[in-house]
Structure formats: structure tokens, C-alpha cells
Copies of this chain bind each other. A is one copy, B any other.
Amino acid sequence: MNIQAGIIGVTGYAGSELLRILLRHEGISVRYLGSRRLLSPKPLGELLPSFRGTSALVVRPFRLKEALEACDVLFLALPHGTAMKLVPQIFRKKSIKVVDFSGDFRLASKASFRKAYHLGHCASALLKEAVYGLPEWNREAIRSARLVANPGCYPTAALLALAPLAVAGLLASEGLVVDAKSGLTGAGRSLREDLLFSEVNEDVRAYRVNQHQHMPEMEQELRRMNGRKVQLTFVPHLVPLDRGLYATVYAPLTKALTEKGLRSLYRRAYEKEPFIQLLPEEAWPQAKSVAGSNRCEIGLRLAPGGKRVILLSAIDNLGKGAAGQAVQNMNLLFDLEETQGLLP
């Protein structure tokens, strides 16, 4: 029998991409679509033109009771600060699985959360329980979780690139640089003048230079993997495309590697991973080649001397960077085939 799923926040870019995937997923029935912006129920196709004629679903003004009745799993595709209010209510009423897209449950401590989001945490008791949903490096914990914190798009791309080095304890504690380029759906469907077409088109710009809220998330996970603190410099940029997140990572090592040793490290880490594509020498990731998929492409080059690695990592920010990864997590939560419903 199919799993019953609900989405809260379906009108955002991540929420609607999630719905697109779930509608193709044969193990899932979408039973509830909620939006906090609605005052009365509306046909999906009226809110999101790309669903016109493909689905008779209706989006409802969000009410928790309705959502809980219908579903085995709830996806929360809401701005940060919202899920932390909602999840305790959910668990009080029903024991279901929750996959949260926001940053609310990704950081292990109240203090880090406050520092990253400039906001107190109102459900800090759940921070310990929440499981960081990066399946390639946290698969077993996810399987038995109740609350999965779906990783941020920047951390997903950067961590998939860095994890094999970190887990081997090879990351030097200083000098790590992550330079990331994101398409505009990554900025969300927010009504901001600087996101109008004529402001963004034909532009490249950095923002929140070395102060983005995803930095503590990356540092936390790197520390967990590497066994000790890694200091990070991080600059995100907006580039004029819809989908795509490209992370270029400059990683100083604790000891020199050979190109062969480096490749073999990555091959061992990823050769069985269905969604990680390690590219051969002289081939480099392209945002376009992963668009619409749940894949991550990774390219590597050792700098002369062998003590620095350049890592390139491309994902679809709405795919592996949000909705695709959420479905991968859900597949694990319900013991389904991990790749089900996802484009490789």
C-alpha cells in the first residue's frame, strides 16, 4: 500500500519541485497540499501554471489537523523559523515522519542556530533527535529517524565534494575556500526587487560574503567528519539561470597526495553511490548536465605539489539540493528503494 504524503509550503520552488517528483513516484500518494499564504482552497494549476492539466489536486490553507489526518509523512518546505514552531505540535499529536527543508533542525546546538539565523530556537529539545539528511554519509541514522533535517543546497554540494577528504582526516584546519554559484530558484520565490528578471539577468553578484547562514552547517558537518575544526571561507554568488548550484572548493591538505591516490580515495567513497558521479580526468561538472536530476557531478584536480585539491561539484539546487534529496531521505525512512522516483 502506498505511503500517504503531505507538503506544507507547496507553492515555493522547492515545494513544487517536490510535488513534481512525488507525483511520478509509484510508492507515494500525495494526500495533502497546504500553503500558509492561502485564504481558501485553490486548484493547484491556478497557483502553479506548470501543473495546469496534469493534476486535479487542490492546495488548502494550511491547518495542521487536516495535514495530520491524511499523512504518513509531512514535508515542510517553509522559511526558517517556522518549522521549529510546527514540529513539536506535530509530534504531540501524531507519530509521523517529518522531512524539514529549512535550517531549523540542521544545527546541533541552540547557540549555533542563534548565531546563524539571528533567532532564538523554540524547540531545542528536538535538535539532538533530528538527523542530518545527507544519505551518502548518514544513511543508517536516517533510516531510523523521525525528523530529518534536509541539508541546505550549498552544504550538499560542498560536503559531497569534501567528505572523502574529511573522513580520511586529510583536511587542513585552515585555508579551506568554498566559492559557490547558484541559480535563482535557490533564492526562493520571494518578492524582492533585487530578484526581478531585469535586475538579475546579465548579472553576477556575490552576497552575504563569508556570512551566509549555511556556513555553520558546513563547518559543523566537516568537523564531525574530519575529527577536528575546519575553518571555512565561503562566498555564494547568484548567476542568471533557473537551476544549478556549482561549488568550487579549494582544499588545503594535511599531507601531500598523488593524483592517483586522490582519485582512488574518491572512487572508493562513491563508486556504489547511485547519485554521485565522479568525472574522469579533464572532465568538469556542468550545472546543465544535472538539471532536473538528483545527481551530483564531482571533478577533481590536484594543484602542483600535491598539498591542495581543487574540487568541483554541481547539483540541481532544487534536486539533490532540496526536493530530490528529500525524496531520497523519505525512501530511506520508509525502506523503499533509495533511488525510487528519482532521476539518476
Contact = CB atoms under 8 A, between A and B. Distances in A.
Interface in A267-320: 277, 279, 283-293, 295, 297, 299, 301, 303, 308, 310, 312, 314
Copies of this chain, how many? 4
Nearest to A301: B209
Interface stretch (A98-106, A110-118, A185-193): A185-193
A196 B198 contact: no
A334 to B, nearest CB: 22
Given A209-B310, A210-B310, A277-B53, A237 B246 contact: yes
**Chain A facing B: main interface SS:** mixed
A189 B197 contact: no
Contacts of A54: 293, 295, 343-344
B242 A202 contact: yes
Interface residues of A, number: 70
Contacts of A288: 49-50, 199, 202-203, 205
Interface string A59-73: 000000000000000
A208 B180 CA distance: 18
B53 A286 contact: no
A310 B233 contact: yes
A201 interface: yes
A3 to B, nearest CB: 21
A201 B189 CA distance: 13
Contacts of A237: 181, 246, 248
B202 A181 contact: no
Nearest to A344: B54
B239 A239 contact: yes
A121 interface: no
A206 interface: yes
A203 B233 contact: no
A75 interface: no
A177 interface: yes
- Which 4 pairs show the lowest CB-CB distances between chains A and B? A53-B277, A203-B288, A49-B289, A179-B179
